[in-house]
Amino acid sequence: MARPVQPKPEIARQLVPPAAYRSPEWYQREQAEMFAHVWTCACVTTDAPQPGDYRVVQIGRFPMFVIRGADGTLHAYHNICRHRGTLILKGSGNQHHGIVCRYHAWTHELDGGLRGLPKRKELFPDLDTRGLGLHRGGLGVLGDLIFVNPDPHAETFESWLAGMETTRMWPHRVADLAEKRPVRYEIAVNWKLFCENAMDGYHLSYLHDQTLKGPDSMDQDWDAVGRHWVFISHGKSPSRQQTDYQRIPGVDTRGRHPVVWQFFPNSGVLASSIFFSAYVIEPVGPERCALELRTWMMPRAELLSAEQRSRPSGTSSHGHVRKDGQARHRDRHAVVPRHGQPRFPDRGHVHRRASAAGAQLAPLRRRAARPPGRDAADLLPGQRARLRAARRQPPRGRVGRVPISGEAGS
């Protein structure tokens, strides 16, 4: 049943007591009464493109997975075998032959029904399998995002969206972009406090003055769509348009446009002309939460060359160019991401970064191979330091892949 939505308030008021940010009892009520019946962004459609493709997700306290059926329909199931409560799947992969529990090999169809089990006639002669299929969850798709609800009988996805799909939508298509390395930030604060501060646009020009660079508080607005919140930039900050990253075709940020979509209670989208990000603020405890962030940009083959990327980006975390032409690097206030156990690990970045480093150092290595003293007189101090560093680097043939812990030679 849809809940009544209050109109956008004229004056901001504090609606919850301080205990809502610290109390274990309050946290337990949230888990039982809200997160067990609410929609959360779980993954994207490109995570399961083919029949049988699946991805395991954690929705509040509920282990679940999203899988594409034989007819192409997406399904969400609780990742629990009805026999002994075993977790059925891990990570991601393909189960087009059937969803098999490893404990006793009970096998389910892609539509969740129980297909069969070993020695059924001998051990379970009277078992009725028709009522022992996987427990379903709710599933809805918005753009490329897949939302999952642990309760299949909760408020419908369409009612929860409150018209977002027709009033405020992003033009980005994840299928046309390349995903960067996902990150997980662990934060010692209640999840609601993080959400409220993330919705505060007043701090952007100050706390993130060296990275996001605004927009200024006079160059922003927000709107309510049902219980959701949309942050809007007026696009009047020319410095924020300066970037050396490849822009995404069809995304225009020169005028008034949405930038952040905060879906009640804890999912969101952050989008610009150069990237698209989806995130979930996961409650971990009364005073702890985790931010899981996935980002997509233009494919590597379509990025600008190294020569064209001659100055830091105005919209990246590497810094920006000031009016005097000098570059300032890395926001001193930025939170360092914790990469210990990302939801979607990717080791390929090790090879890519090492290969790129080898290519950039190749000219200096060639110079380092010349007789000592040659060309040293015409080097600037910074170039001399780089030359000394290059001489300490291994030959280019040894740069490429860093051994993973546990491999031979690591």
Task: Please indicate, yes or no, whether residues 306 and 187 belong to a single structural domain of this protein.
Answer: yes
Task: Please indicate, yes or no, whether residues 323 and 189 belong to a single structural domain of this protein.
Answer: yes
Cβ atoms of residues 92 and 342 within 8 Å:
no
pLDDT in tens, 274-311: 899 999 999 999 999 999 999 999 986 555 444 444 33
What pLDDT is stored for residue 331 in this prediction? 40
Cβ atoms of residues 290 and 282 within 8 Å:
yes
Domain membership flag for residue 5: no
End of a domain among 117, 137, 161?
Answer: 161
* Domains in the chain, number: 3
Domain membership flag for residue 121: yes
Answer whether residue 26 shows pLDDT above 80: yes
Cβ atoms of residues 204 and 214 within 8 Å:
yes
Answer whether residue 119 shows pLDDT above 50: yes
Task: Please indicate, yes or no, whether residues 101 and 189 belong to a single structural domain of this protein.
Answer: no
Instruction: Give the structural domain span for 382.
Output: 354-398
Task: Please indicate, yes or no, whether residues 60 and 176 belong to a single structural domain of this protein.
Answer: no
Task: Please indicate, yes or no, whether residues 278 and 394 belong to a single structural domain of this protein.
Answer: no
* Structure tokens belonging to residue 198: 């993330």
Angle at 394 between CA 366 and CA 360, to 5 degrees: 50
Task: Please indicate, yes or no, whether residues 226 and 364 belong to a single structural domain of this protein.
Answer: no
Domain membership flag for residue 405: no
Answer whether residue 3 shows pLDDT above 70: no
β-bridge mates for residue 292, sequence order: 184, 280
pLDDT in tens, 304-360: 444 444 333 333 333 333 344 343 444 434 444 444 444 444 434 444 444 455 555
Q: How much is the pTM? A: 0.71
Answer whether residue 146 shows pLDDT above 60: yes
CATH number for the domain spanning 270: value is 3.90.380
What pLDDT is stored for residue 205 in this prediction? 79
Question: CB neighbours (10 Å) of residue 231?
Answer: 21
Strand ordering across the sheet containing 138-142:
40-44, 145-149, 138-142
End of a domain among 143, 161, 179?
Answer: 161
pLDDT in tens, 157-202: 999 999 998 888 899 999 999 999 999 999 999 999 999 888 888 8
CATH number for the domain spanning 55: value is 2.102.10.10
Task: Please indicate, yes or no, whether residues 136 and 170 belong to a single structural domain of this protein.
Answer: no
Q: For the CA atoms of 152, 230, 30, 34, what is the dihedral angle to 10 degrees?
A: -20
Task: Please indicate, yes or no, whether residues 145 and 169 belong to a single structural domain of this protein.
Answer: no
Instruction: Kindly report the length of the chain.
Output: 410
Provide the pLDDT confidence category of residue 49 given band limits of 50, 70 and 90. Answer: very high
Domain membership flag for residue 1: no
Task: Please indicate, yes or no, whether residues 370 and 229 belong to a single structural domain of this protein.
Answer: no
What mean pLDDT is reported for the chain? 78
Q: How far apart are CA 240 and CA 255, in angstroms?
A: 12
CA distances for 158 relative to 137, 278, 348, 400, angstroms: 15, 20, 38, 48
Domain membership flag for residue 117: yes
Task: Please indicate, yes or no, whether residues 44 and 170 belong to a single structural domain of this protein.
Answer: no
Residue in the block written with tokens 């010349």: 370
Answer whether residue 89 shows pLDDT above 90: yes
What pLDDT is stored for residue 85 in this prediction? 92
Q: Measuring CA to CA, which residue among 242, 235, 245, 204 is closest to residue 320?
A: 242
Domain membership flag for residue 292: yes
Domain membership flag for residue 343: no
SS3 281: strand
Sign of the C-alpha dihedral, residues 314, 315, 316, 317? positive
Task: Please indicate, yes or no, whether residues 311 and 184 belong to a single structural domain of this protein.
Answer: yes
What pLDDT is stored for residue 312 in this prediction? 38
Task: Please indicate, yes or no, whether residues 121 and 201 belong to a single structural domain of this protein.
Answer: no
Residue in the block written with tokens 């927000």: 222
